[in-house]
Structure 1
Amino acid sequence: MTAELVRGQNHPLSQSRLEIRVSAGTPIVTAAALGDETGRIHGVEWVAHPGAPTRPGLEVSRQAAADHRLAVDLDALADTVHRVSVLLALPAAAGSRGPARFGAVAAPFVAVTGLDGTEAASYTVTGLDAESAVVALELYRRQGAWKVRAVGQGYAGGLAELFTDQGLPQARQLAGDIDEAVARGLARSVQAPPSRPSDGDRPRQTAAPAHRPDQGAGTAPQDTPDPAPPAYGGRPAGPPGQDGPQPAYPGGAADPSTATTGGPIDYSHPRRRNTAPPPPPPAAPPARPGQPARPVAGDATGWSMDERLYNQVWGMFEDLARTIAAYRSAVDFAESRMDKELEQVLADPRSRIGSQGDAAREAARARQDQLVDQAREAFDRDLAQLVAEADVVEPALPPAYARWDNPVWHAYRVPMEIPMALRLGDLRLPEADRLRIPMLLRLPLERGLWIDSGRADAPDGSFTDPHDMRRLAVETAVSHAARLLAVHPAGEFTVHVIDAAGSGAQPLAPLTRAGVLAAPPAQGAAGVAEVLSRLTQRVDLVQMALRGGAADSLPPGFDTSQQLLIVNDFPHGFDDRAVNQLRYLADEGPSVGVHLMMVADREESAGYGPLLDPLWRALLRLTPVADSHLADPWVGHAWTYEPPLVPPGSQILQQVLTLVAEARRAWGP
């Protein structure tokens, strides 16, 4: 059974290999200190921290984040070690906009679990105020057995005061080293993605629908995920959609390979696998008698405002899908009922002609109109409520979820941690043309993107000139790439471009002019071969390191950031070897942080035959113009997708890229 500890309470540990999960409402720094029988730390080599994340028997997170997983192997500790203290601190890096004291944030939650996820003990660190560092709990050896104790000892002087109290002579120097490592992000390593929970344990907050790329021609929607049962609280759960092609909207948890440590991002809270729900959403303002409740931004369940908004957007998507399904069903029923009544009239020769037949036809049409009017009234009422909710939610969205015309972008600052999701555009249905639902993709990316520069099925039947389609496709790719750069911390996301023929030079100018690319766009067959060879070697190297359990032994200076390759005008400049390398990146790259964004017309590569079918299926198809090719997971509506283009004349994209470039230069090479 799980022991929920209070300050000073202890509990025996039955396993030697443990995972310590830390969850907080703001980015925090984690560390672990080894101590002797008296608790004294003998030197800096006895502390695992972001600048030195691994020690014998210990591994901690490498950057500040709201969620952490620390690995502990008690059997691997030296005989002189009798205590392992788990330390939490608020980032003290220069320019940090985070809170300066724990009293201003939600109480951190710490859980000790086995490798199988079984929770042994947990502790919510309450009672903190001016403290900026805290010893959350300690594992200690007593008479040959290990126990865990809830400590909760805070220090207003931060890590320097904490280490001094623990008897470390180099306390201030070590605290400064940790602050510098967090500020500059010098200590990063590639890790395998986190283990995916079973379907029964996967909560709504980390589950979401998946859209699949087109499998063939036709106008029927192809990107239809599978539904899933409801989870606790709020609206029903979204489908996991993780066993087939990966999700487009709103996304899902990473499809993992087996790992013993957490991945670069993990939003699962230790308690979500229990029956305890997250904190309740804020209550809506009281409504007038007979009036619907006024909508509130963030009224879904979740552990943070971003997560509540994410789940609220997902709920709006589901509500609109079901509302329109009910309306269409009612209209179809009214028409089928009228047709049946008219057939009965025509089947009787006595009522087929004359005033009696005319009256029967009028009565059938009147009943149809009445049913349709009733359905329309209910639909208009539900739609009005959703529109009112969208009017409240849209202005409250953070930059990662917001449109380019949202004023939130004017206050943009390079983030300290990766958000839950990224907006890829909007979704709408013809009956509710005024309502746009944000299309959110979970991060980190789990599949590549394909910006289709071929002909799209425009809802209004219009046709876009092929040259304009190519230009719009590259502009859409630039918009997506700019968003990905903007939502990652400085130095955590690197973009490469292959433009073999140089045809995308003008629309790619915002990226090249801002200086956010790893190198100028590669051109010609030689440039294509060089970039593909470098990225495939990177995938091979990281995979070998992970499989060998040596993720920290990568070569010095190895760039561990997420990598994005934009390929324009495929298959120009690609030979058979390059095509195979591209397929390899699409299949194997996402699991080790290498992602693909194709800007291509599938018809132009038809000469390869079925060889490239797996490539297109592995990518999420998006279009540079409005196109009806996505479907919801419940009733299969053909949703119109609208890409997230920058408003004409707006300089916001260039302003954001300038800030990203400045942050990259400050972060260092």
Structure 2
Amino acid sequence: MGVELVRGENQPLAGNRLRIHVSAAVPLVVGAVLDEGRGAAGGGASFLRPGAPARADGLRVPPAAARDHELTVDLAELPAAVGRLGVVLALPPGRGGRRVPDRFGVPAPPRVRVTGEDGSAEPLAFVLTGLDTETAVVAVELYRRHGGWRLRAVGQGYADGLPRLLADHGVPDPAAVAAAVDQAIAGPRCSAPAPPSPPAPALPPPGPAALTPPPAPSAPPPPLPPGPAVPDGSADHGAPGPPWAPAAPRLRYPPPRRHRRVTPPPPAFPPRQPRPSRPARWRGAFPFCLRRGGRWTRGVGGPGWLPYAGDAAGWSLEERLYNQVNGMFEDLARAMAGYRGAVEFADGRLERELDRLLGEPGSRLGAAVEAARDQASAARQALVDQARAALDRDLRQLTAESEVVEPALPSGCAGWESPVWQAYRPPEALPWAVRLGDLHLPEVPELRIPMLTRLPLECGLWVDSGHDADLADEAGPEAEQVRRRALETAVALVVRLLAVHPAGGLTVHLLDPAGTAAAAFGPAAEALRRAGVLAERPGGVAEVLEELALRSDLVRMASDGRGTQADPKLPGPLRGARLLVVNDFPYGFDDRSVALLGRIAEEGPDAGVLPLVVAARADAAGRGPVAADVLGRSLLRLTPFPGEHVADPWVGHTWTYEPLLPPEGSRVLERVLGEVAAVRQAHGR
């Protein structure tokens, strides 16, 4: 018995000493990715591969490829910096032959089972269904959450193999690590062909002589010749596998002689070393309720668990808040995936039950079939109610966490209504991240996750001013209202990007060939002029684009691919970032200007030139594929009204994006620009 998990579901882990069993129909390589949770800037990920020296912190991985593996891990012995541990499965080298398939979609899906060392906890199992062309997969992961550990069923596969998986998880030099795994698994034992088996000796005829014990041999018998080589680097003599392996008949031509191999005992845990005493986190000694992975458990501690801001890994509070928001984003995506999967399973079972009832002509009518239908519907509703109860528990936890995290966010990540803007001052250095909007799911529109993006931005922004067909009903906004709202969204984004840059660190270039942005950008443009951050160059669209494209080339050549726009090695005129605001693209753009903007959109962010384009997709498509490609491939699309166009990288949910606009009648934008102007004047910039 145990708990069968579905993809995306998570459960709490009661103990620290665990055994992770992996069983498959073909030999697999098993490893572990350890992530210290420092984000893209810090890295900190490592891969414990087969053949590597054993770790002394309670983690053991199998040394070779096999159909059955057992990993042992002591969570209490892991370093405090490790926030996530992922179990990785990969096909061994030499795949694609008769014995080893070239992808996970061919054999039966692998199965992972997690048990406690003492057997007191309820086992957790996960079958990796739905794999097709993948050759490496993250099966499950163990991660810290609110002082405890949880297990999540991941099942994320990679068709590009182990190097791509390691690269996505931040492991340094993933190609070399994958090559070391292949070398350790292949080994020198598979290099020479196995000699043929000798013919079996003839059996003596039955009779009295057969009961006579044979004479003692004068010399020891020759060693048993090895059988045909198998992909795990050992000889297969038809010996039985581990006791938990499923029995499967295999044919051999010619059949090899059988003997029994001695299966090595599972690795033992190292003796526990005395750990230094550390101050207790909880005061007092009375029971409290602690929520872990959707369940409330009782323990002994202080007044009870409460969420707090900064409950994540990181070197600074700003980095911890960023990682905590990303953890909330991922938790909500996984929890909703579990709920939707449960509802889909309940609907499918109800449909199959009704098909069975209607498929029998004699049972289509009558009280019995009505009772069976009611019973099937009641069973479906019971499953849905159970899944909704689990989702509601997770939502209550995430809502409580959001209520304490939102007020603690710094100015660049806070909403315009936050009180932190009342005490805003331009930062001395570029902060960790910036907030571009909010995200929510249709089932829970009241729970909104801040859309935080690391700085400096890796791509430009596109504010879609087109009249969406989904909003073209009577209750939807008109086309002119969409364009006006798009300009207001662009102004708010410009001010926010100015607010997160140090004073003098960002210069704005405004291109409005048609002159349609005067109403929305008029007050903001005047404030930008007073702040000294609006660059006004004589000339047309092509001249401004040529200047910024040339600046991008000079910055990349000066930094030699290693620096950024803030690199102190750059000359003074090349320091600082540039924000190019383009309104009503592609009106006023010839073919050469479109090509220059496309070049800036692709190469400019790496050199400190960030485009912010206000345009409609239909207008750009009318100018040809180059203009449409500028919007669709190189820029991050943002909508002035709520739109469902953002997908998360874990389960692929469609999230609703909402722009960040200041409250009606608020003067927070003027205040921010005034502070930027005051600091620039004080420093003589």
Structure-2 residue corresponding to 1:664: 680
Distance change (3 Å), C-alpha of 1:460 and 1:336: farther
**Closer, same or farther: CA 553–338 of 1 in aligned 2, 3 Å:** closer
Instruction: Check conservation: 2:507, 2:535, Cα contact below 8 A.
Output: no
Q: Which residue of 1 aligns with 2:511?
A: 498
Q: Which residue of 2 aligns with 1:626?
A: 642
Following the alignment from structure 1 to structure 2, what is the Cα–Cα distance between the partners of residues 583 and 553?
A: 28
* Counterpart residue type for residue 613 of structure 2: M
CA contact (8 A) 1:233 1:301 kept: no
Specify the alignment match of 2:601 in structure 1.
586
Task: Provide the rounded CA distance (Å) in 2 between the counterparts of 1:282 and 1:301.
Answer: 19
**Residues 594 and 283 from structure 1, CA distance in 2 versus in 1: closer, same or farther, beyond 3 angstroms?**
farther
1:527 aligns with 2:540: yes
Structure 2 residue 361 is the aligned partner of structure 1 residue 362: no
| Residue 199 (structure 1) aligns with | none
SS at match of 1:512: helix
What is aligned with 1:423?
435
Note the C-alpha offset of 1:454.
0.8
For CA contacts below 8 A with separation 6 or more, give which structure has more relative contact order: 1
Q: 1:615 aligns with which of 612, 617, 630?
A: 630
The CA deviation at 1:647 is 1.0
Query: Which runs of 5 or more residues in structure 2 are unaligned?
Result: 1-40, 43-80, 85-135, 161-167, 171-277, 292-304
Partner of residue 453 from structure 2, selected from 434, 441, 456: 441
Partner of 2:425: 413
Deviation at 1:570, TM superposition (A): 0.7
Using the TM superposition, give the Cα deviation of residue 349 of structure 1 relative to its aligned residue in structure 2, in angstroms.
Answer: 2.4
The amino acid that maps onto 1:421 is A
Partner of 1:41: none
Structure 1's 284 and 337: CA in aligned 2 closer, same or farther, altered over 3 A? Answer: farther
On the 8 A contact 1:522/1:528 being kept in 2, the answer is: no
Out of 351, 370, 376, the position equivalent to 2:363 is: 351
Does the alignment pair 1:570 with 2:585?
A: yes
Match of 1:161 in 2: none
Rate the CA distance shift 1:520–1:656 in 2: closer, same or farther, 3 A: same
Distance 1:608 1:281 in 2: 67
Counterparts in 2 of 1:432 and 1:343: CA distance versus 1, 3 Å: same
Residues 415 and 533 (structure 1 numbering): CA distance in 2 closer, same or farther, change over 3 Å?
Answer: same
1:300 matched residue in structure 2: 312
Counterparts of 1:189-588 in structure 2 under 5 Å?
A: 233-234=144-145, 289-290=288-289, 292=291, 293-456=305-468, 462-515=475-528, 516=531, 518-519=533-534, 526-547=539-560, 557-588=572-603
Give 2:661's aligned residue: 645
Letter in 2 for 1:626: P
Q: Which amino acid aligns with 2:606?
A: S
1: distance between equivalents of 2:401 and 2:639? 27
- Cα deviations across residues 184-229 of structure 1 (Å, max 9, x unaligned)? xxxxxxxxxxxxxxxxxx9989xxxxxxxxxxxxxxxxxxxx9989
Evaluate the alpha carbon distance shift between residue 459 and residue 297 of structure 1 in structure 2; reply closer, same or farther with a 3 A threshold: farther
Alpha carbons 2:506, 2:533 under 8 Å: kept:
no
Give the Cα–Cα distance (whole angstroms) in 1 for the partners of residues 500 and 169 of structure 2: 18
Shift of 1:455: 2.6
Q: Quick one: distance in 2 between partners of 1:204 and 1:576? A: 51
Alpha-carbon distance in 1 for matches of 2:169, 2:468:
27
Q: 1:283 to 1:400 in 2, by over 3 A?
A: farther
Gaps of 5+ in 1: 1-66, 69-201, 206-225, 244-250, 254-279
In structure 2, how many angstroms separate the alpha carbons of the residues matched to 1:285 and 1:562? 50
1:608 to partner: Cα distance: 3.0
Normalised TM-score (structure 1):
0.57
Residue 434 of structure 1: SS of its match in structure 2?
Answer: strand
Seen in structure 2, the aligned counterparts of structure 1 residues 489 and 356 have a Cα distance that, compared at 3 Å, is: same
Letter aligned with residue 645 of structure 1 = L
Other structure's SS at 2:450 match? strand
Q: What is the rounded CA distance, in whole Å, between the counterparts of 2:280 and 2:442 in structure 1?
A: 32
**Which structure has the bigger radius of gyration?**
2
Contact 2:427–2:501 (8 Å) recurs in 1 = yes
> How far, CA to CA, are the matches of 2:497 and 2:144 in structure 1?
31
Q: Deviations over 1:635-663 (max 9, x none)?
A: 11110000011111111111111101211
1:568–1:598: 8 Å Cα contact kept in structure 2? yes
Flag the 1:518–1:398 CA change in 2: closer, same or farther, 3 A. closer
Provide the secondary structure at the position in 1 that maps to 2:682.
Answer: helix
Q: 1:282, 1:455 → 2: CA distance?
A: 58
Q: Is the 8 A contact 1:283 1:299 kept in 2?
A: no
CA distance in structure 2 between the partners assigned to 1:650 and 1:227 by the alignment: 50
Q: CA deviation at 1:282?
A: 12
SS in 2 for 1:426: strand
Separation of aligned partners in 2, 1:460 and 1:658: 39
Aligned mates of 1:610, 1:319 — CA distance in 2: 39
1:463-517 CA distances to partner (integer Å, 9 max, x unpaired)? 3211111111111111111111111111111111111111111211343132346
Provide closer, same or farther for how the CA distance between residues 423 and 392 of structure 1 changes in structure 2, counting only shifts above 3 A. same
Question: Shift in Å at residue 546 of structure 1?
Answer: 3.0
User: Out of 608, 611, 619, which is 1:604 matched to?
Assistant: 619
Q: Specify whether residues 469 and 520 from structure 1 end up closer, same or farther in structure 2 by C-alpha distance, changes over 3 A only.
A: farther
Structure 1 residues 563 and 598: alpha-carbon distance in aligned structure 2, compared to 1, 3 A threshold: same
Inter-partner Cα distance in structure 2 for 1:325 and 1:284: 34
Judged with a 3 Å threshold, the aligned counterparts in structure 2 of structure 1 residues 405 and 382 are, in CA distance, closer, same or farther, namely same
Q: Percent identity?
A: 50
Are the aligned partners of 1:496 and 1:517 in contact in 2 as well (CA < 8 Å)? no
In structure 1, distance between residues paired with 2:439 and 2:379: 34
Instruction: Quote the Cα distance in structure 1 between the aligned partners of 2:378 and 2:561.
Output: 74
What amino acid sits opposite 1:358 in the alignment?
A: E
Whole-Å separation in 2 of the counterparts to 1:508 and 1:564? 15
CA distance in 2, matches of 1:366, 1:595: 56
Q: Counterpart of 1:374 in 2: which secondary structure?
A: helix
Aligned partner of 1:189 in structure 2 is: none
- For residues 242-277 of structure 1, the C-alpha deviation after alignment (integer angstroms, 9 at most, x for no partner) is x9xxxxxxx999xxxxxxxxxxxxxxxxxxxxxxxx
Cα 1:548–1:483 change in 2 (3 A) is: closer
Q: Distance in 2 between matches of 1:423 and 1:236?
A: 30
**Partners of 1:645 and 1:368 in 2: how far apart?**
43
Whole-angstrom CA distance in 2 between matches of 1:408 and 1:417: 18
Mark the CA change 1:519 to 1:418 in structure 2 (over 3 Å): closer, same or farther: closer
User: 2-side partners of 1:584 and 1:544: how far apart?
Assistant: 16
Cα gap change, 1:372/1:509 in structure 2, threshold over 3 Å: closer, same or farther?
same
Q: Deviations over 1:555-601 (max 9, x none)?
A: 6x514101110101111111112111111111221111111111001
**Aligned partner of residue 294 in structure 1, secondary structure:** coil
Q: Residues of 1 paired with 2:356 and 2:557: CA distance?
A: 73
Q: Distance in 2 between matches of 1:344 and 1:444?
A: 58
Q: How far did residue 547 of structure 1 move?
A: 3.6
| Secondary structure of the structure 2 residue equivalent to 1:508 | helix
- Kept in 2, the 8 Å contact 1:203–1:231? The answer is no
Which amino acid is the alignment partner of residue 607 of structure 1? G
